[in-house]
């Protein structure tokens, strides 16, 4: 298992697409308020994956041990502690300037932060111990599609209406941009999302961040058949430099870790890829691009609009 795989499996877990749809339908029950929100109630009952749990009706000190900090922040809820991947994201630098970097193993540090709610992935360690610190809710990555996941966090934070409003607006904006982009580049043009990490290369599908959700699900752009065959179902696929040309379509989104090995960019194999030779490569900073929360998605959308359409 690669280094990226080990790290990503802690924050992003894929499941088969068909199963995702099945679970999506069954998981839409949402939160059942125990006290009427806004009527002085201090808690609500949230129907989590593991059953009902009492959570604050107006949380003010949330700790996110993995993945979902951007969802929480986008709903105006303070995050006082977040995981290392979140803290290194330049998109979150300002809203997390007073937050502490934590992990699911730094229990003493989390206690000191006095959280009123803890959120993370179902793969988080020490969930039982975290639950003794504050109400702890975990989600299985991929059990819900990325927009329904945001709505679910909205229910957890007692901000379902705000979450739904952003989703509705986002889908409208991405659909409009997708129509314009397909009209410009052609309905059959293909787009590939590649990321380097340490000495390895990965190609991504439509549910693993890096803009795949916007490009493929919302804008209805096409991915090359090789990507469909290898990365769509698991979410991502590791490949060699020699195999890279087989995966790159008419356009390439190059998600770069500049502090990892980027020597492949100077190879003849890379330089001779048609999309590279013809200047159809759009480079991004991986650290600010790999999540699929509203803050990151809005950034990705503007990037794609500027990259594909330029001055409209």
| Residues 188 and 305 occupy one common structural domain | yes
| Model pLDDT for residues 279-296, shown as the tens digit of each residue | 999 999 999 898 999 999
Largest alpha-carbon pair distance within the chain?
66
Domain contains 48: yes
Instruction: Decide which of 158, 191, 206 is a domain's last residue.
Output: 158
Whichever domain contains 282, its CATH number is 3.40.50.1980
Query: Taking the CB of residue 269, how many other CB atoms lie within 10 A of it?
Result: 14
23-67 confidence digits (pLDDT tens): 332 333 344 444 444 444 599 999 999 999 999 999 999 999 999
What is the extent of the structural domain holding 227?
A: 183-309
Cα 38 to its chain centre, rounded Å, is: 30
Residues 219 and 262 in one domain: yes
* 262 contacts 268 by C-beta, under 8 angstroms: no
Report the predicted TM-score, pTM, of the whole model to 2 decimal places.
0.84
Domain boundary at 123, 158, 193, which?
Answer: 158
List the structure tokens of 167: 């989703």
Q: Do 139 and 240 sit in the same domain of this protein?
A: no
Share of the chain above pLDDT 70, in %: 86
C-alpha to C-alpha distance for 270 and 171, rounded to whole angstroms: 34
Number of domains in the chain: 2
Average of pLDDT values for 74-103? 96
Query: pLDDT grade, residue 311 (50/70/90)?
Result: low
- Please report where in the chains the tokens 């330029």 appear, as a residue: 310
């Amino acid at each position: 298992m690669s280094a990226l795989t080990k790290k990503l499996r802690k924050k992003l877990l894929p499941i088969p697409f068909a199963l995702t749809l099945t679970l999506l339908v069954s998981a839409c029950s949402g939160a059942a308020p125990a006290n009427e929100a806004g009527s002085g109630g201090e808690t609500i009952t949230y129907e989590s994956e593991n059953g009902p749990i009492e959570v604050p009706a107006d949380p003010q000190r949330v700790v996110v041990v993995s993945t979902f900090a951007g969802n929480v922040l986008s709903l105006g809820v303070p995050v006082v502690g977040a995981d290392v991947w979140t803290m290194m994201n330049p998109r979150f630098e300002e809203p997390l300037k007073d937050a502490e970097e934590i992990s699911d193993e730094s229990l003493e540090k989390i206690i000191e932060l006095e959280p009123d709610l803890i959120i993370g992935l179902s793969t988080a360690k020490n969930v039982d111990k975290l639950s003794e610190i504050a109400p702890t809710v975990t989600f299985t990555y991929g059990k819900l599609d990325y927009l329904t996941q945001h709505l679910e966090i909205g229910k957890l934070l007692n901000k379902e209406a705000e979450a739904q409003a952003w989703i509705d607006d986002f889908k409208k904006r991405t659909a409009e941009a997708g129509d314009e982009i397909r009209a410009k580049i052609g309905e059959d043009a293909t787009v590939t999302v590649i990321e380097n990490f340490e000495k390895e290369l990965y190609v991504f599908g439509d549910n693993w961040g890096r803009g795949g959700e916007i490009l493929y699900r919302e804008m209805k752009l096409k991915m090359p058949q090789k990507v469909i065959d290898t990365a769509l179902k698991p979410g991502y696929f590791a490949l060699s430099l020699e195999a890279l040309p087989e995966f790159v379509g008419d356009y390439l989104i190059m998600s770069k870790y500049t502090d990892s090995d980027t020597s492949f960019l100077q190879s003849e194999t890379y330089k001779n890829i048609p999309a590279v030779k013809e200047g159809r490569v759009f480079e991004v900073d991986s650290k600010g691009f790999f999540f699929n929360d509203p803050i990151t998605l809005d950034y990705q959308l503007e990037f794609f609009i500027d990259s594909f359409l330029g001055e409209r």
